[in-house]
A and B are shown apart, each in its own frame.
Chain A
């Protein structure tokens, strides 16, 4: 009878900071087991949407469900299903890696007898076993991100939510973070919701993406679908190279991207040359 509930459903979600409509009628469905990428330039409203889904912000308008649980009404139930890695690098520098993970094992009620083993497994899953007993303050940015991944994993979440997990990391660390996310997902079968403004990463690692702009999802599908769709709309020949996700984004965002403090470096540089006549 029961169909498995989707991992996340947002229906007409809206959230405003005063006059700023950060999220403005967001409709979104993340299916169980997929890696879903929420893409958009800085200020698109990704973080605000994530903070509504994680129960950090109330849901003033619309509806958010996580595996069928109402994020406004069943906060504790929703939180037990979540692993959350916020945008800032946020491990405690004055604790060791192991202690950082152990704290999250405790606050997710991991019983004492299996705490040490579980913490070790989480650290091993992100290749931090060797550095586990060093203070997190001595970690590199990529290591801190992996540590945060371990903190999120230790409670065996059904949904892992990562907000800009690779922001500010060098290319090697970015790849390493994504490889660990992918490996853990493959090993555990958990659902992953990730935000990023790096289109290339989304193209490579996400099963489906939603392109978000001005608080709403403007296009939804697998990266290949979206790119093929744009190619067809443009009537490109089969031999032409497919448009990139950035092309798709420029297409759906239209001229709205210009007055936005959008932060695709590529988008901006191309546009600058194309439209300097303001």
Chain B
């Protein structure tokens, strides 16, 4: 029989009610297993949106680069007609590539962010909550996706202002959002995986710079696969960014694309990324 704690507990319950903190006596019911993951994803996405609401400067500063790409590179090469785009103006051809690029730049930052959270103690605190490591990583991956979608909207608006003929079909735009989320989830996990390997912010910064440009230039974001030399085609074929760009082109411009393959590759890439980053998260916590 365990009657001993009953007295002090009910006494403190009275005190708690007086102080208006009675809810803090009752632990919340654990969520059933399958509802845990969506709940954690929602929590991480909510944090991302709250941060964006408090400070939108990043949204604007990150709009400068894509705007320049479209304005300068896009307009110049549209006139030069140097790149075979299958009939669409080059700036139109470029716009989906730039959307994918700016989404990737945002996602790649998540590795640095998680190291910063580790150094600040925020990560440790989250790891002492009923959140499996894979759920934490998936939550962050989707948060990167949400932020990237918002950035994509900005780039789409810029592109539209520059006269790019994009679709306004809501179903296709939904597909665009899904592709951007999947692509960003992969790149966020890629950088969180590298974070779990190199463990320090400085080394990760070096890595980030060393991989983002090759990922971008080694994809079909700027030019079609067929004009690349053989070795670059090979790189581009294993680069998830190419599949993201292909899908975005298909959805936004209506050019021929391999949507099913693109979705499949991005889903598998994101799943692999989540697995790798979750496995390495423990190293960051030590």
Task: Give A residues with C-beta under 8 Å from B.
Answer: 1-4, 32-33, 51, 54-57, 76, 79-82, 84-92, 94-96, 99, 102-111, 114, 117-118, 121-122, 124-125, 135, 148, 151, 153-158, 184, 186-189
Point out the residues of chain B lying under 8 angstroms from A122, CB to CB: 21, 24
For B, the interface residue count at a CB cutoff of 8 angstroms equals 47
**Given the interface contacts A4-B4, A187-B19, does A108 sit within 8 Å of B24 by beta carbon?**
no
CB distance from B48 to the nearest CB of A (A): 10
Contact B128 A89 (CB under 8 A): no
Most-contacted residue by chain A among B21, B22, B26, B286 (CB, 10 A): B21
Query: Which A residue sits closest to B5, measured CB to CB?
Result: A4
Point out the residues of chain A lying under 8 angstroms from B16, CB to CB: 187-188
**A84–B127 Cα gap in the complex (Å)?**
10
Contact A95 B47 (CB under 8 A): yes
**Given the interface contacts A56-B127, A108-B130, A109-B130, does A188 sit within 8 Å of B12 by beta carbon?**
yes
Q: For B2, give its contact among A2, A94, A121, A187 (CB under 8 Å).
A: A2
- B202 proximal to A (CB < 8 A): no
Give B107-148 interface residues, CB cut-off 8 Å to A.
120-122, 124-132
Point out the residues of chain A lying under 8 angstroms from B121, CB to CB: 86-90
Give B15-42 interface residues, CB cut-off 8 Å to A.
15-16, 19-31, 36, 39-40, 42
- B205 proximal to A (CB < 8 A): no
**A99–B47 Cα gap in the complex (Å)?**
8
Q: For B25, give its contact among A3, A32, A92, A188 (CB under 8 Å).
A: A188
**Given the interface contacts A3-B2, A33-B8, A89-B121, does A55 sit within 8 Å of B128 by beta carbon?**
yes
The 3 closest A-B pairs by CB, nearest first: A90-B121, A88-B121, A106-B43
Contact B30 A80 (CB under 8 A): yes
Contact A109 B29 (CB under 8 A): yes
Contact A121 B23 (CB under 8 A): yes
**A158–B59 Cα gap in the complex (Å)?**
42
Contact B39 A109 (CB under 8 A): yes
- B82 proximal to A (CB < 8 A): no
Q: For B51, give its contact among A87, A95, A158 (CB under 8 Å).
A: A95
**Given the interface contacts A117-B23, A124-B21, does A186 sit within 8 Å of B12 by beta carbon?**
yes
**Given the interface contacts A33-B5, A107-B40, A188-B24, does A90 sit within 8 Å of B125 by beta carbon?**
yes
Query: Which A residue sits closest to B13, measured CB to CB?
Result: A189
CB distance from B61 to the nearest CB of A (A): 16
**Given the interface contacts A56-B285, A103-B43, does A187 sit within 8 Å of B15 by beta carbon?**
yes
Point out the residues of chain B lying under 8 angstroms from A189, CB to CB: 5, 8-9, 12
Contact B125 A57 (CB under 8 A): no
- B46 proximal to A (CB < 8 A): yes
Contact B30 A109 (CB under 8 A): yes
Contact A90 B124 (CB under 8 A): yes
Q: For A107, give its contact among B9, B27, B51, B131 (CB under 8 Å).
A: B131
- B55 proximal to A (CB < 8 A): yes
- B54 proximal to A (CB < 8 A): yes
**A210–B25 Cα gap in the complex (Å)?**
28
**A151–B124 Cα gap in the complex (Å)?**
13
Most-contacted residue by chain B among A54, A96, A118, A187 (CB, 10 A): A187
Point out the residues of chain A lying under 8 angstroms from B42, CB to CB: 106
- B209 proximal to A (CB < 8 A): no
**A84–B54 Cα gap in the complex (Å)?**
27
Query: Which B residue sits closest to A105, measured CB to CB?
Result: B28
